[in-house]
Structure 1
Amino acid sequence: MLADLPSLADFLAEPIAKRALLACLMIGFANGFVSAFVVLRKSALKVGTLSHALLPGIALSVLMVGLSQWSALAGAIFAALFVGLGSIFLSRTSRLDQDTSMGILYTTAFAGGYLILTQLNVRQKLDEWLFGSIVGMADSDMWIAFGISAIAVLTLTALQRPLLIYLFEPNIAASLGVPVRFLNYATFGITILVLISSLQAVGCILSVGLMVAPAATVYLLTNNARALFWGGGLIGAFGSAAAFFLSYPLGWSVSASIIVVLGGLFLLAYIFSPRYGLFSKRGRV
């Protein structure tokens, strides 16, 4: 099978391959950049919950208005907001905490969304939404990903100083006049948008890895909080591009390869980090 494939150079000459490589770099960088916020906020599990919550929104949009790029996008945004804000509402109006409420909402919604999609004869699209298909990205997908990536990086860069104060010292941030509530909603919205932009690349099942692993790797290498943003972006872009080149000759899924490569980079940092690695002096304490 692999012997019948064109060479990597021939494959890269195809527009579909160039588009997929560009998507790897762009989506990888944006997710890696935002992953700094996720790691500093210690909200990886909530991001994982939101990523799984995208599927039921897509299912409802397909059921109500049919399958299109924009209906899937709108449905994904609605589902993430429903689960995120719904969990806050439940926690404030019952004895349950937000994590428990979110766990109930997203698992129920995910199961319902899966049942809807299995009845709509969109099996191929279902696999793409679950596990991604970055090679199959259309021009419209690229423009959406580019717009979301640009908004996310520019916004977080502009808000970086007050955001870091808010993350480390929320009480001091409020006393200094930092708009804490605005930052909360802004970062929540950016996280949702970036998750949606990576849906085509790695799917809702694997997207949490793309949004956590890059900055988590940098976190093991430095104490500089600002370096988590740009370092996470560079690792996200590098790992995604490396996975693209690795997956083709091996016949692997690009989406799964991205997460495996990023997981491998994290493992290397965990073992060999001079300051916080498994074999460092600090690591043995």
Structure 2
Amino acid sequence: MPKLEAGGITAYVHHPMPQDLPPISYYLAMPAGQRALLACLMIGFANGFVSAFVVLRKSALKVGTLSHALLPGIALAVLLVGLTQWSALAGAVFAAMIVGLGSIFLSRTSRLDQDTSMGILYTTAFAGGYLILTQLNVRQKLDEWLFGSIVGMADSDLWIAFGISVVAVLALTALQRPLLIYLFEPNIAASLGVPVRFLNYATFAITILVLISSLQAVGCILSVGLMVAPAATVYLLTDNARALFWGGGIIGGLGSVAAFFISYPLGWSMSSTIILVLGALFLLAYIFSPRYGLFSRRKVS
């Protein structure tokens, strides 16, 4: 079980008891703590920014499917070439592409729709990936891939997340105007010469990359929450579609940082706490939003 050492005090990273932990100032003075905090801010912002596209596209369930599809690719990569940072990354990309593009192929060559095809592909692949990993005796890594381990992020993980985050935010910012036209008026977008097919593939690729960047942080199981909750919260507060991108990014980043400071002294899983905080923010918006909140709807009725 990994340990953190500071000033002669040793703390276990996974499932520690709160009384065994050094003060958070000790943790922040260590490279592991600094990496974890920076990862929370960076990955949270990038996922929150991309979540605007997911919410506007109404594709949260597809994103959840893709997030679960990452595991079998990692398992296959470990089986073929061993466990390395790059093999896991390549395997995750390969699996997401196979499930995503395979569902399109099945829907076009059979009576099934894309959602049904994707459901069959990802559950079958996920089951196969889980069996492979359990046979390879990598249980600790399996837990990290399923539920995340921000505290275990290395410098290479952070650089990969940084690169993906920058590319995703810059690309979606540059494509924002044609993307919004396409999302709200696809027929008009095509008549205006908007490259609809290119936008489809580009946003699909960006979504996969950002999912992979958050794999180490929150794992396959919880990553969909990080990519849906931030913009869904903003969606209840404003009608401005552009505000969903930056608002989602801010909520994702600040919510993840808040989870960092909440989870450490309590000894909670940081990954689960991130999703819990973002879920709580969504619940507050659902109840108290001035225009679309539960109380405001009752006043109108």
Q: Match of 2:164, as an amino acid?
A: I
CA contact (8 A) 1:31 1:194 kept: yes
Structure 1 Cα separation of the partners of residues 55 and 300 of structure 2: 23
Alpha-carbon distance, 1:10 to partner? 1.4
1:152 to 168, 177, 192: 168
SS in 2 for 1:178: coil
The answer for the alignment partner of 2:140 in structure 1 is 124
Q: Match of 1:279, as an amino acid?
A: F
1:30 to 33, 39, 46: 46
The answer for the alignment partner of 2:186 in structure 1 is 170
Post-superposition CA distance 1:252-274 (Å, at most 9, x none): 00000000000000000000000
The answer for the alignment partner of 2:228 in structure 1 is 212
Structure 1 Cα separation of the partners of residues 157 and 35 of structure 2: 10
Match status 1:113 vs 2:129: yes
| Pairing 1:3-42 to 2, within 5 Å after superposition | 3-42=19-58
Q: Match of 2:142, as an amino acid?
A: L
Structure 2 Cα separation of the partners of residues 283 and 139 of structure 1: 52
Structure 2 Cα separation of the partners of residues 77 and 196 of structure 1: 8
SS in 1 for 2:294: coil
Structure 2 Cα separation of the partners of residues 17 and 281 of structure 1: 43
Structure 1 Cα separation of the partners of residues 63 and 228 of structure 2: 9
Structure 2 Cα separation of the partners of residues 258 and 135 of structure 1: 13
Gaps of 5+ in 1: none
Alpha-carbon distance, 1:195 to partner? 0.2
Gaps of 5+ in 2: 1-16
Structure 2 Cα separation of the partners of residues 188 and 228 of structure 1: 18
Structure 2 Cα separation of the partners of residues 203 and 279 of structure 1: 35
CA contact (8 A) 1:276 1:283 kept: no
Alpha-carbon distance, 1:284 to partner? 5.3
The answer for the alignment partner of 1:269 in structure 2 is 285
CA contact (8 A) 1:33 1:233 kept: yes
SS in 1 for 2:103: helix
The answer for the alignment partner of 1:91 in structure 2 is 107
Q: Match of 2:239, as an amino acid?
A: N
Normalising by structure 1, report the TM-score: 0.99
Match status 1:228 vs 2:218: no
Task: Calculate the aligned-residue CA RMSD, in Å.
Answer: 0.9
Normalising by structure 2, report the TM-score: 0.93
In the TM superposition, structure 1's runs of 4+ consecutive aligned residues that sit over 3 Å from their partners are: 281-285
Alpha-carbon distance, 1:282 to partner? 7.0
SS in 1 for 2:268: coil
Alpha-carbon distance, 1:188 to partner? 0.2
